[in-house]
Amino acid sequence: MSTTGTGPLRVSLVSEHASPLAELGGPDAGGQNVYVARLADHLARLGHTVTVYTRGDAPGLAPRLETATGVHVVHVPAGPATRLPKDELLRHMPAFGAFLRRCWVRERPDVVHAHFWMSGRAALAAVRGLEIPVVQTYHALGTVKRRHQGSADTSPPRRLEIEAAIGQSCRRVLATCADEVEELAAMGVDRDRVSVVPCGVDPRHFAPAGGLPRSPDAPRRLLGVGRLVPRKGFERAVRALPLLPGVELAVAGGPDASALATDPEAQRLRRIAEEVGVSERVTLLGAVPHHRLPRLMADADLVLSLPDYEPFGIVPLEAMACATPVVATAVGGQLDTVEDGVTGLLVPPEDPGGRLLAEAVRSLLDDPGRLARLGAAGRARVLDRYGWDRVADGVARVYATALATPSLSGATR
């Protein structure tokens, strides 16, 4: 039941491109989908009435359905009923917002939680004059993306300006890590209007495998998991392999295994593996169904999470929940989640030739006792801080704060 003192709320989650029902691993389907799906489930479990609004991106989707956990999902008709890259969705946000407004005039939510900047834009347009508080979670910031991707960034040019405006006009910003608060402050969002609640993981689903210990003669196995896009840094792992003889690398993510041959990032990684002479030790698995990941993570010696930048990064939490230590780049949310030397090791993203990464991996693989200790500490850290029950409760408290905060026009609920 709700512990926020507000009683059960009617909560609308808006997630324009990331459906809680989507298959994961493709270029635009990852952590946000998982976050919205699990947050919705756990808010419902706390007694709140939850509706998720996401774009209808396939023909024949039910306009409205209820999941097994009692969450309502509404497929918003905005743009063609087909999957579009998220960077092409801005022009459909007026229709998305107009639909939300029609729904919310009929059935008023107590609070709206918008996910990603375009959802924030549609939600703020929809609540104009209705005095419904909007809580914004960015999941990723255009300023950070632009800094790292430069001219390769395909975001609409107005993204930065719109993101800053959302930060000024929403009732509260819900950030997921300390690094994001700094980025928001640099965008002009007052720290007093930002609350930090991390993303979560389900420690019953992501759990150690148990069973027989691995044979000491089995090849050592590194695992990377994530959307198969360059910024996830799987290249770093491939380039470090020549310094790690006998060690194998598997990567979960991307399209279905049958479509990997034509995937540009898969082709690029295979080319690099060939160049550095490690092709036979790299396996690209393609998209792995989410329910199969706990076993894969628990069976790996180490999970590598090596992005150039990372707004939060659920994968390290999932690995830690499976008692598998993580070697992660010291960026973004990973600075909060991976405790250096305790639940894994942090390595600098600037590491030409992968020497520091290889040293970090080797130091753990060569010390099974330490590997086990770090794994156990990761599991303990997850149980202590990142269970979804705790996270959903933290989010509901932010909703309560938003409801108690005067709007820019002076009204509270």
Of the two residues 75 and 227, which places its CB atom closer to ligand UDP in the complex? 227
> Rounded to the nearest whole angstrom, what is the least distance from the CB of residue 165 to ligand UDP in the complex?
24
Nearer to ligand UDP, 193 or 205 (CB): 205
What residues numbered 162-221 form the site for ligand UDP, per CB under 6 A?
Answer: none
Nearer to ligand UDP, 132 or 382 (CB): 382
Task: Give 330 or 372: the residue with its C-beta nearer to ligand UDP.
Answer: 330
Nearest-angstrom CA–CA distance, 23 and 9: 29
Member of 293, 298, 302, 364 binding ligand UDP (CB under 6 A): 293
Q: Which is closer to ligand UDP, CB of 145 or CB of 171?
A: 145
* Contact positions with ligand UDP (CB under 6 A) in 354-383: none
Q: Which among 123-131, 186-194, 312-320, 353-361 is the span making contact with ligand UDP, rule CB under 6 A?
A: 312-320
Stretch that binds ligand UDP, among 24-32, 91-99, 356-364, 403-411 (CB under 6 A): 24-32
Nearer to ligand UDP, 220 or 227 (CB): 227
- Residue 268 has a CB neighbour count (10 Å cut-off) of 15
Query: What does the alpha-carbon distance between residue 343 and residue 202 come to, in Å, rounded to a whole number?
Result: 18
Nearest to 362 by CA among 252, 240, 235, 274: 240
Closest approach of ligand UDP to the CB of residue 282, in Å: 16
Task: Find the binding residues for ligand UDP in span 268-287 (CB under 6 A).
Answer: 287
Exactly one of 16, 318, 336, 351 binds ligand UDP (CB under 6 A); that residue is: 318
Binders in 30-69 for ligand UDP, by CB under 6 A: 30-32, 34
Residue nearest ligand UDP, Cβ-based: 30
Is the Cβ of residue 99 or residue 312 nearer to ligand UDP in the bound state? 312
Of 390, 221, 256, the residue nearest 317 (C-alpha) = 390
| Nearer of residues 7 and 85 to ligand UDP, judged by Cβ | 85
What's the closest the beta carbon of residue 207 comes to ligand UDP, in angstroms? Answer: 14
| Three-state secondary structure string covering the chain | CCCCCCCCCEEEEECCCCCCCCCCCCCCCCHHHHHHHHHHHHHHHCCCEEEEEEECCCCCCCCEEECCCCCEEEEECCCCCCCCCHHHCHHHHHHHHHHHHHHHHHCCCCEEEEECHHHHHHHHHHCCCCCCCEEEECCCCHHHHHHHHHHHCCCCCCHHHHHHHHHHHCCEEEECCHHHHHHHHHCCCCHHHEEECCCCECCCCCCCCCCCCCCCCCCCEEEEECCCCHHHCHHHHHHHHHHCCCCEEEEECCCCHHHHHHCHHHHHHHHHHHHCCCHHHEEEEECCCHHHHHHHHHHCCEEEECCCCCCCCHHHHHHHHCCCCEEEECCCCHHHHCCECCCEEEECCCCHHHHHHHHHHHHHHCCHHHHHHHHHHHHHHHHHHCEHHHHHHHHHHHHHHHHHCCCCCCCCC
Nearer to ligand UDP, 73 or 293 (CB): 293
Q: How far is the CB of 224 from ligand UDP (least distance, A)?
A: 9
Stretch that binds ligand UDP, among 55-63, 185-193, 268-276, 314-322 (CB under 6 A): 314-322
Between 139 and 171, CB nearer to ligand UDP: 139
4 contacts 397 by C-beta, under 8 angstroms: yes
At closest approach, how far in Å is the CB of 115 from ligand UDP?
11
Among 20, 25, 203, 325, binds ligand UDP (CB under 6 A): 25
User: What is the total count of residues that contact ligand UDP (CB under 6 A)?
Assistant: 20
Which of 97, 167, 313, 349 contacts ligand UDP by CB under 6 A?
Answer: 313
Query: Does residue 327 interact with ligand UDP by CB under 6 A?
Result: no
Could you tell me which of 252, 241, 255, 225 has the C-alpha nearest to residue 320? 225
Token output for 149: 């991707």
Q: Which residues bind ligand UDP (CB under 6 A)?
A: 24-25, 30-32, 34, 225-227, 252-253, 287-288, 290, 293, 312-315, 318
